Amino acid sequence: MARYIGAVCKLCRREKQKLFLKGSKCSSEKCTAEKKNYPPGQHGLSRRSKFSEYGVQLREKQKVKRIYGILESQFRTYFATANRAKGKTGDNLVQLIESRLDNVVFRLGFAPSRISARQLVGHRHFTVNNKIVDIPSFLLSPGDVIQVRDSSKKLDIIHNALKRTKDSVYSWLSVDKAALTGTFLQVPERIEVPLNANEQLIVELYSK
């Protein structure tokens, strides 16, 4: 299972915005992106380059990939699938990656970040419809029920994450904090997804 193992705070600095890759640290005074609000590298402070049209499109793609923790080959596969489906390719792309199990675990509040959610899923702490699923990229269907396994219900990382989660959950999800279960009610509409990105730039980049 391929994954990024480098310093994630550098990714926020490269994209010049918080990607919230480290959970609660991103909202604290310890956030590296705030203390070093310039691109990483020895020329980070001095470089003031202007992006070309291609550069703007590339940065948008990299930003979305990094937010969701997806590597290039898998992201291309998602784009190809979205491009074949009916409707707007950009909307389809966002809906696909929002349906990933690791993302939904994070959205439900069972993990402080998508990176943590990916690890928890990989370590077999969750079931989908009463079956263990350890594939973070598993795509959920409307009506699927996600549950913390009985043997994992005392994990501090899950309970601490839930304490920081607001009672109101996303409209396409429902959660029962007491039972540690959640339901993927439906595939969200693009307008419902809190993603600060222009996916049309990604469509333009891959369409060249």
β-partners of residue 175 are: 182
Please report the pLDDT score of residue 166 as a whole number. 74
Q: Which of 62, 59, 82 is nearest to 70 (CA)?
A: 62
Domain of residue 130, CATH code: 3.10.290.10
DSSP letter string over 156-184? HHHHHHHHTS-S---TTEEEETTTTEEEE
The one-digit pLDDT tens for each residue of the chain (208 residues) are 455 555 665 565 555 565 656 555 545 565 555 556 656 555 555 555 677 999 899 999 999 999 999 999 999 999 999 999 999 999 999 999 999 999 999 999 999 999 999 999 999 999 999 999 999 999 999 999 999 999 999 999 999 999 988 766 799 999 999 999 999 999 999 999 999 999 999 999 999 8
Percent of the chain topping pLDDT 90? 71
Q: Is 30 in the same domain as 74?
A: yes
Q: Is 82 in the same domain as 110?
A: no
Q: What amino acid occupies position 18?
A: K
In a domain, 2, yes or no: no
Total Cβ atoms within 10 A of residue 140: 20
The residue segments making up the domain with residue 14 are 8-97+197-206
Q: Is 123 in the same domain as 162?
A: yes
Q: Is 79 in the same domain as 13?
A: yes
Please report the pLDDT score of residue 192 as a whole number. 95
In a domain, 192, yes or no: no
**Residue for token pair 């996916």:** 199
Q: How many helices (H) and strands (E) does the chain have?
A: 9, 5
φ and ψ at 184, to 5 degrees?
Answer: -85, 95
Q: Is 50 in the same domain as 122?
A: no
**CA pair distance 103, 192, nearest whole angstrom:** 15
- Mapped to the 3 state alphabet, what secondary structure does 96-154 carry? HHHCEHHHHHHHHCCCCCHHHHHHHHHCCCEEECCEECCCCCCECCCCEEEEECHHHCC
In a domain, 25, yes or no: yes
Q: Is 66 in the same domain as 143?
A: no
Number of domains, the chain: 2
